[in-house]
Amino acid sequence: MSRPPIARRLRASGRVQGVNFRAWVRDRAQARGVSGWAANQADGSVEVWLQGDEDAVAAVERAVGDGPPHGHVDRVEAEDVAVRDGLEGFARR
């Protein structure tokens, strides 16, 4: 029996814009079957929505904390959020 999906909203701060961060997160999420999006924010952070299997979401969340080779993540704020019905794929916004 499979577990129900979970959803987490993250806000990554640091050098996360202009370093291909959103595409990097998308690639990690897609590789693990996690749906959601990554969107630049006006304050220089990136908001990330992750939804899927608990272990897969946790793996992508850990990757977000590490960041891409050309970026630097200073902080990740995370919160549990309600799962959105019909959310499929991963988008860069």
- Strands in 90-92's sheet, in edge-to-edge order, are 72-81, 6-15, 46-52, 35-40, 90-92
Query: Where do the structural domains in the chain lie, given as residue ranges?
Result: 6-85
- In the predicted model, is pLDDT for residue 87 greater than 80? yes
User: Residues 32-46: what's their mean pLDDT?
Assistant: 98
What CATH class is the domain 6-85?
alpha beta
% of the chain exceeding 90 in pLDDT: 95
pTM of the model: 0.94
| Residues forming the active site | 22, 40
